[in-house]
């Protein structure tokens, strides 16, 4: 341990770098209005850095300890951060939000541990990779693989025999995935019998719902359109 004795200045520098790393990732998460933002990431990164420093300092300070293990506290940080990550996730119907933020919390803790251990180059490279993933790859995903939400689309028709092919063509023109369909005929009372088409669809977040509704409304004999979240 003599060649890597920690000084007070070393500790201050590493804690400052831990703060900076957490602030960089935290600002990116805050800009996207995530549950875990600037302060959460700063606290986790700085805390992980401090715990890593403590892991190194204890065996160095108490040289008579035969079982001193610099990695013991760090290992607990890795497992313990999972509780905070779970708190950042929100379930909305069949969709779960916050997985990326939960992953960023886990990663910023790892970066903090690396800074605390003096692995500055590894921490810096990981920080750059994290920013590339959160910013550049996010743009790439939205451009080529837009996320979607599962919804239940109900179309009520005046006619008992609606032109479902026209409806399907409109949905496909909006890049909407059709997961399942169910047509109920003979709806209504007396002579005014119509039909109801229930479609379970995957709608991209970039879809203009107003334009979709207008396109469906002007097709055939559509009388009413209802869209619900699928729970």
Q: CB of 158 within 8 A of CB of 221?
A: yes
Looking at domain 148-229, what is its CATH homologous superfamily?
Ribosomal protein S6/Translation elongation factor EF1B (3.30.70.60)
Between CA 176 and CA 190 the distance in angstroms is: 35
* Centroid of chain to Cα 198: 30
Distance CA 145, CA 49 (A): 36
CA atoms within 13 A on the CB side of 86: 5
Cβ(113)–Cβ(145) below 8 Å: no
Model-level pTM?
0.64
CA-based end-to-end distance of the chain? 57
Given strand 194-204, what is the order of strands in its sheet?
177-187, 194-204, 148-157, 222-229
Which residues, listed in sequence order, are joined to residue 157 by a DSSP beta bridge?
195, 222
Written as tens digits, the pLDDT of the chain (231 aa) is 344 678 889 999 999 999 999 999 999 888 888 878 899 899 999 999 998 998 888 777 776 666 656 667 777 887 788 777 777 776 655 556 778 888 899 899 999 999 998 999 999 999 999 999 999 988 887 777 777 778 888 888 887 788 788 888 888 898 888 888 888 876 655 556 678 888 888 888 788 888 888 888 887 678 888 888 654
The ranges assigned to domains in the chain are 2-144, 148-229
């Amino acid at each position: 341990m003599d060649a890597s004795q920690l000084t007070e200045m070393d500790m201050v520098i590493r804690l400052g770098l831990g703060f900076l790393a957490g602030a960089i990732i935290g600002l990116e998460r805050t800009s996207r209005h995530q549950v875990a933002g600037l302060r959460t990431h700063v606290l986790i990164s700085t805390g992980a850095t401090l715990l890593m420093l403590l892991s190194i300092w204890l065996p160095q300070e108490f040289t008579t300890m035969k079982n001193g293990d610099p990695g013991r506290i760090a290992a607990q940080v890795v497992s313990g951060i999972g509780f905070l990550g779970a708190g950042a996730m929100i379930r909305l119907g069949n969709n779960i939000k916050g997985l990326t933020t939960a992953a960023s919390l886990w990663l910023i803790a790892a970066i903090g541990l690396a800074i605390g251990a003096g692995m500055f180059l590894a921490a810096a490279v990981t920080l750059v990779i994290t920013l590339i993933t959160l910013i550049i790859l996010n743009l790439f995903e939205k451009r080529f693989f837009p996320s979607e939400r599962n919804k239940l689309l109900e179309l009520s028709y005046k006619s008992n025999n609606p032109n479902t092919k026209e409806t399907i063509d409109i949905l496909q023109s909006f890049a909407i995935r059709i997961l399942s369909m169910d047509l109920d005929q003979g709806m209504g009372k007396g002579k005014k019998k119509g039909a109801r088409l229930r479609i379970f669809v995957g709608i991209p977040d970039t879809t203009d719902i107003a334009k979709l509704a207008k396109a469906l409304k002007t097709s055939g004999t559509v009388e009413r359109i209802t869209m619900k979240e699928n729970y």
